[in-house]
Amino acid sequence: MTQNDTTTVGALASATRSPALQLRDLRKSYGDVRAVDGIDLTVERGEIVAFLGPNGAGKTTTIDMMLGLARPSGGTVQVLGFEPHQAVARGEIAAVMQTGGLLKDVTVRETAQMMAALFRSARPVEEVLARAGIADIGDRMVGKCSGGQQQRLRFALALLPDPSLLVLDEPTTGMDVEGRREFWAAIRADAARGRTVLFATHYLDEADAYADRIVLVRHGRVVADGTSAQIKNLASGRVVSATLSGVSEVELAAVPGVERAERRGDRVLLRGKDSDAIARHLLTHTAARDLEIASTGLEDAFIALTGDTTEENGS
């Protein structure tokens, strides 16, 4: 074995052990704008991660650096142990972007065949169409496909190099509910086979429904990282509601564990992290009845964690 062979084998061995994605103190500035301001993130193989954040949080800039489309101002990106451009060239990472790139006057199958011809080694066209759930519309002109079908075609194209990491940047923008549902069903079925998926979305319900893990970014930094349940809990815990009259909001706010109290007619809503303690207090010290305990929505968590009033929260 030559020195070169040994080095290559060594690099491959370390790449096989590497996480799907590793960002270390990643930074990108445009003039005075710090689009990405020190992101540390490790994504293990097989995870489905949602990258959530308000407009201008730095999601697309981070994704562009993962794909080698933008050069970091500082820090590092490793995809399966490779530099982004190497990972793209090796077909380890592929992306489904929001728009663009499709010719309207060719069929779905011809589009996939043309793209497949660009790869040294590609999965069979019929296989990727089937995985994207569009095998039955292979003969349809792209221009006649719905937005959801065109997006599933982009997904099929991204599957051609059989990438270990699939990145989706707001893939369902503009789709109707049914289109979104079908798109995500195809992604989920594919991910169940072990592919790592990272997606940016504005739809919080999508992150809640389809991700194992949610990474919330704001002002180019990670402000929270966990499961959907952990993120909700981090922001505002649970809401205990009950029918209870004759007790003021001020008195309710003094109940141990209550962070916020609200009265709506004869119902009271008490927010806090320790819902058991709040419920116990209501049932043993007051005349509360018809008690209900609910998780706060991800939407509430998102606003609480990315809003301007929680500048230091989680960072």
Residues in contact with ligand ATP by CB under 6 A are 30, 33, 35, 53, 55-61
Contact 160, 122 (CB under 8 A): yes
CB of 225 to ligand ATP, least distance (A): 16
Choose between 28 and 154: whose C-beta lies nearer to ligand ATP: 28
Choose between 71 and 144: whose C-beta lies nearer to ligand ATP: 71
CB of 57 to ligand ATP, least distance (A): 4
CB of 140 to ligand ATP, least distance (A): 30
Contact 81, 17 (CB under 8 A): yes
Measured between alpha carbons, how far is residue 21 from residues 17, 167, 230, 294 in Å?
A: 12, 11, 22, 35
Choose between 53 and 161: whose C-beta lies nearer to ligand ATP: 53
CB of 56 to ligand ATP, least distance (A): 4
Choose between 30 and 119: whose C-beta lies nearer to ligand ATP: 30
CB of 53 to ligand ATP, least distance (A): 5
| CA–CA gap between residue 201 and residue 50 (Å, rounded) | 7
Tell me if residue 140 falls in helix, strand or coil: coil
Helix (H) or strand (E) holding 169: strand 165-169
CB of 69 to ligand ATP, least distance (A): 11
Q: What residues form DSSP beta bridges with 222?
A: 217
| CA–CA gap between residue 104 and residue 83 (Å, rounded) | 34
88-101 as b/e, with b when 16 or more CB fall inside 10 Å? beebbbbbbbeeee
Contact 77, 84 (CB under 8 A): yes
